[in-house]
Amino acid sequence: MPSATILGPYLGNQHFSIDNYFNYCVQSAEGLPLSWTVRGLRPGGCDPSHFVHDCVPRRQAWKDVYFDWPKTLRQMNTDLYHIVDHGLAWYKMFLRQGKTIITVHDLINVLVMNGNLSLPPIPARRQIIINLCIEQIKKADALICVSTKTASDVMSVLGISSQRISVIHNIVPPIFKPLGAGEREAARKKLHGSVEHVVLHVGKPSPYKNRIGAIQIFDIVHSQLPDSKLVLTSQKLTHEEESFLSERACAKSVLVYRPETQDALHNLYCTADVFLFPSVSEGFGWPPVEAMACGCPVVTSCGGALGETVGDGGISFDNPNDFGAFANAAVQILKSPDLSSELRAKGLSHVRKYSRDMLAPRLVELYKQIGNSAHEHSARPAIA
């Protein structure tokens, strides 16, 4: 019988988006015919209660991922493998048989290395693993690209034929949905107290995310609406961000809050009044899509695939550094309940296209196509 193994990221690394994608692929694969054997595997196991990455000594994490995991990969015997993130494509180096699908979420690092995207250079050590992953992506039997923009980059930059590429958008995980009015009021009071306007940005301070841009936008918003607050997620402020805020009146209204669970992230989306996302480039753009699914009005750039994935569900600007335009849009939303309500409705309507029911069948069909081909090939008798 055909078999499929979904290969995911290190457990508990708090990359919520890739964790969601891994779980979605495993659950979708359960829709394959009963004759199939399906499993999901990842370094460190698959039990979320096993450990949290922050509690694991760095030496242990490296052993789990770079010593124990390759040995596990070498011992696998499966018709079909799906590696759920391009940054994990190096897994393929250790797979001895079976066909491989790799999901490419973006080629941002490659575009930077090639000089096609003006961002700070990629560290040399990081370039080594990126190049290893690119080699394996080129050898994959099929690729899933999460947007037409990413597919276009894969074809033009890596020279891969469109015949090996399927464009299947990411889903919005079911957890991301609006809270009821009473629940929202209680969660907002708990998270934000009595502040009048809550502005949210979700993302690490990576250069392409342009988090410093979100802070600069908020500085303009705060000058017009002093009773406003900006919530940033993930890591503490960078030196550049601290330097900018050191001379700004809005500094005390900027909070870094790291959600430890997806429930906590969900509550942030649901209790914010506007979501800012001035990203330079995205292969898909999970945060603004998740924000729309939670009923939060979105102001975003069109960087990379964002124009495609956000569409008319939010307010978009071509230039991610046009901070005045972003701020004016945010202020209008915060001042106008009618505009806020209109954008909320548009966003909720737009994200229906990213539902599991619409996208999972396409994923399952690709599994069947590649997996059955591998199984038929392995089942043929050897020719003497």
CATH class of 181-353: alpha beta
Domain spans in the chain, listed from the N-terminal domain onward: 3-171+355-379, 181-353
**Mean of the pLDDT values across residues 310-315?**
96
Residue 378 has pLDDT above 80, yes or no: no
| pLDDT per residue as tens digits for the range 63-79 | 999 999 999 999 999 99
| pLDDT per residue as tens digits for the range 13-44 | 667 899 999 999 999 998 999 899 999 999 98
- Fold (topology level) of 3-171+355-379: Rossmann fold (3.40.50)
Distance (Å, whole) CA 137 – CA 172 = 25
**Are domains 3-171+355-379 and 181-353 of this chain identical in fold?**
yes
Locate 323 and state its tokens: 């901070």
pTM of the predicted model over 0.85:
yes
| pLDDT per residue as tens digits for the range 127-153 | 999 999 999 999 999 999 999 999 999
